[in-house]
Amino acid sequence: MQPLASIVVPVFNGMGFLKETLDSVLAQSYPNLELVVVDGGSTDGSREWLGTLSDARIRVFEMPLGTTAAENWTAASQHARGEFIKLLCQDDLLYPDALALQVKDLLENPAAVMSVARRDIIDAAGGFIVRSRGTQWLDPGLVPGRDALLASYLLGTNGLGEPLAVLFPTEVLRAALPWNDTDPFLLDLELYSRVLAMGPIFVRKTTVGAFRVSSQSWSTQLKATQRAQIARWQARMSHELHPSRGNRMRARVMLHVQPVLRQAAYSSARLMNSFHG
């Protein structure tokens, strides 16, 4: 039998997209999976709706109102029973072969501490903003963790993508816990940084899901606060990576370029959507 894989979904007031997200998990071609959902004190009916689910693959847990995002992500990760684990945010989507492809990556490359793939970026209505993003600066196959860390440092952003694009061996993720939202925009990258110190990653150029940008997403608010958080992360990483003077300059430039590029992509998508009604 293929090993059990866990997809964990932390939830807080997620009714807008939650059903679509969970349906994308239950539609996976990989047969041996569990879906772990942890509600962090929702008040929009999410908790009650989750209580109506009867699929045997689904396990639902509850946290009290006031639970932070990091606490909810950590609790969801700790409830997983599978050999492999993927965290999926409540409004993102997985494509049908995502889990099958990334489990295969890790089974065939047991030294890898994560499998990383590409993702589409979509708007609240499901329209495409950008297709097949992520891993652009990384070669396919096994890549040293330090090289992956350096790529994000130089990009001035999370070059690996949101958790939907990543699959971990569960023992690796557990060793890196807890998730930390001291800098909320870096909730994922902060943990990735610890995982990347443990070994190589496996990079595939396949698109395995969609990250949804909505009015509630942190990623639509790339202004001074988010830039400051990335700058602090770059400063910490410079002590580990010891980048050259040229790379330090490059990283500082990209820190300011990234918000402009992302805003241009979002603005372009809104313009195209207006043409299509």
- Tokens found for residue 184: 């909320």
To the nearest 10 degrees (0 to 180), the angle between helices 145-155 and 187-196 is 150
Instruction: Identify the pLDDT of residue 251.
Output: 83
Section 246-270 average pLDDT: 70
Instruction: Identify the pLDDT of residue 277.
Output: 39
Q: Which residues contact 2 (CB under 8 A, 6 or more apart)?
A: 30, 31, 32, 103
Residue-wise pLDDT tens digits, 157-215: 899 999 999 999 999 999 999 999 999 989 999 999 999 999 999 999 999 999 998 65
Q: Which residues contact 49 (CB under 8 A, 6 or more apart)?
A: 15, 18, 19
The yes-or-no verdict on residue 253 having pLDDT over 90 is no
Burial grade of 88 (CB within 10 A; 0-12, 13-18, 19 or more): buried
The yes-or-no verdict on residue 274 having pLDDT over 50 is no
Domain count, the chain: 1
Higher pLDDT, 261 or 146: 146
Cα–Cα distance measured from residue 162 to residue 92, given in angstroms and rounded to the nearest whole number: 9
Instruction: Identify the pLDDT of residue 263.
Output: 62
Give the gyration radius of the chain's Cα atoms.
Answer: 18
CATH no. for residue 85?
3.90.550.10
Percent of the chain past pLDDT 90, that is, above it, reads 74
Whether a cis peptide bond, with omega within 30° of 0, leads into 178 is yes
The answer to whether 53 and 63 are in contact (CB under 8 A) is no
The answer to whether 72 and 46 are in contact (CB under 8 A) is no
Instruction: Identify the pLDDT of residue 256.
Output: 78
The pLDDT confidence band at residue 276, using thresholds 50, 70 and 90, is very low
Containing domain of residue 255, as a range?
5-275
Could you give the residue ranges of the DSSP H alpha helices within the chain? Answer: 18-26, 46-50, 69-79, 98-108, 145-155, 170-176, 187-196, 224-241, 245-275
Residue-wise pLDDT tens digits, 76-94: 999 999 999 999 999 999 9
Section 252-260 average pLDDT: 75
Mean pLDDT across the chain: 90
